Amino acid sequence: MNISKIKKTEILSNNEIGIDRASTIIKSGGLVAIPTETVYGLCADATNPDAINLIYQTKGRPPINPLIIHVFDNKSVFDIAHKNKIAEDLSSKFWPGPLTMVLKKKINNKPSITKNAISGLKTIALRIPAHPVFRKILKKCNLPIAAPSANLSGKLTTTRFEDVLSNFSGKIDAIIDGGPCPIGLESTIIYIHEKNISILRPGKITEDDLLNNDFSITKKSKAKKIISPGQLNSHYCPKTPLRLNAKMPNLNELLLSFGPLPKGIVGISLSEVSDINEAAMNLYSSLADLDELAIIENKKTIAIHPIPNKGIGVAINERLLRAAYKSSNKF
């Protein structure tokens, strides 16, 4: 299908009518952006190769970057992937929720996940989401749903309806206006090998959450060999270059502060009260707003306060490092 063709993007309400319509579109091979507890997702039927192609084309996503597949319940997870004790334990502690597990795919998985959704790998990343809108859509569709973040590949992730609209109006079939996403960062991705787990991408579920629940974690050096396709150095980029760990902005910079914005400084606060979870929720939307503000104020760079590397702060810092990767050559 030719995606340069302009589509009429339906704006759906966060109610039964909107959810019904979104499910009908997904079942017939279309793309719908919906809110999840982590970030907005761009949803398609994971058993339909044409629908999955549309995701890759619309996002400009390299085909080697596999998608996370979302299902309604444990039974659906283990119809698709091999069962193991750690996966079952993790599932009972953290699902439904912001956790993705990379598991070994069954050869005859049912329903059959299309190869292009998982870049032809023998493993598959699965999640049972908690957001009520996503759960209702999964139940109504009765299908596994591929849902990468609803943004152009490599650019800022979207956590607000208006940002999804500005990225995808005229390019996808529908968007559900479900307000801001409560967590604001992508799911924690973990890989299970033998009796250990490794964190491939940090998120709301932290290393401490896993350790406190008696899961043992393999440190990075040992986990090096694990293939984690699509984890590019440069990712989550706003248009404006970033300068990390800045105490104060220079004259030509805006400030993204942690804590109140200092007097006379132009910028946005991630959290006035230095709450790390609030900061995570506001991260991507603040960067989107700062991109606009940079044009209005004629500023060249966004300076960003140091963010405490605790709890979800680890995930914020991981995202910021990738978001600043291209800018870091400029300083």
Question: Interface residues with Mg ion (CB under 5 A)?
Answer: 149
Name which of 9 and 149 has its Cβ closer to Mg ion: 149
Using alpha carbons, list the distances in angstroms from residue 84 to 74, 237, 285, 293, 321.
12, 37, 38, 49, 34
Contact flag: residue 116 with ligand AMP (CB under 6 A): no
Encoded tokens for 224: 């090096």
Give the nearest distance from C-beta 157 to Mg ion in angstroms: 6
149 binds ligand AMP (CB under 6 A): yes
Which residues ranging from 256 to 295 are in contact with ligand AMP (CB under 6 A)? none
State which of residues 67, 81, 128, 279 lies at the interface with ligand AMP (CB under 6 A): 67
Q: Is 200 in the site for ligand AMP (CB under 6 A)?
A: yes
Decide: 142 and 77 in contact? Cβ < 8 Å: no
Q: How far is CA 107 from the centre of its chain?
A: 27
Q: Does 65 bind ligand AMP (CB under 6 A)?
A: yes
CB atoms within 10 A of CB 50: 12
Helix (H, G, I), strand (E, B) or coil at 302: strand
Closer to ligand AMP by CB, 207 or 275: give it.
Answer: 207
When the beta carbons of 11 and 64 are compared against ligand AMP, the nearer one is: 64
Sheet harboring 253-258: ordered strands across?
A: 242-243, 301-304, 253-258, 267-271
- From the list 204, 172, 156, 173, the residue with the least C-alpha distance to 315 is 204
Considering the complex, state which of residue 23 and residue 149 has its C-beta at the smaller distance from Mg ion: 149
Say which residues have a Cβ less than 8 Å from residue 295's Cβ, sequence separation at least 6. none
Shortest gap between Cβ of 127 and ligand AMP (angstroms)?
9
C-alpha–C-alpha distance, residues 5 and 35, integer Å: 25
Q: Pick the binder of ligand AMP from 7, 21, 49, 121 (CB under 6 A).
A: 121
| Residues between 211 and 230 that touch ligand AMP (CB under 6 A) | 228-230
CB of 120 to ligand AMP, least distance (A): 10
Question: Which of Mg ion, ligand AMP, none binds 228 (CB below 5-8 Å, type-dependent)?
Answer: ligand AMP
Show contacts with ligand AMP in window 157-196 (CB under 6 A). Answer: 186, 189
Residue in 34, 43, 46, 102 binding ligand AMP, rule: CB under 6 A: 102
One-character DSSP codes across 186-244: PPEEEEEETTEEEEEE--SS-HHHHHHTT--B--HHHHTTS--TT--SS-SB-SS-EE-
229 binds, among Mg ion, ligand AMP, none (CB under 5 to 8 A by kind): ligand AMP
Q: Are strands 196-201 and 188-193 parallel, antiparallel or unpaired?
A: antiparallel
Between 14 and 65, name the residue whose CB sits nearer to Mg ion: 65
Q: What does the DSSP assignment read for 265-284? A: --EEEEETT--HHHHHHHHH
Alpha-carbon distance of 61 to 64, in angstroms, equals: 8
Q: Which does 22 bind (CB under 5 to 8 A by kind): ligand AMP, Mg ion, none?
A: none
Closest separation between CB of residue 225 and ligand AMP, Å?
A: 12
Query: Which stretch in 63-71, 167-175, 208-216, 250-258 sits in contact with ligand AMP by CB under 6 A?
Result: 63-71
| Nearer to ligand AMP (CB atom), residue 67 or residue 294 | 67
Identify the residue among 68, 143, 294, 323 touching ligand AMP (CB under 6 A).
68
First to last CA, the chain: 43
Residue 309 site contact among Mg ion, ligand AMP, none (CB < 5 to 8 Å, cut-off depends on kind) = none
C-alpha pair distances (Å), 298 with each of 56, 240, 292, 302: 34, 11, 10, 11
The H or E element that residue 162 is part of is: helix 161-168
Q: Is 198 a residue that touches ligand AMP (CB under 6 A)? A: no
Nearer to ligand AMP, 230 or 308 (CB): 230
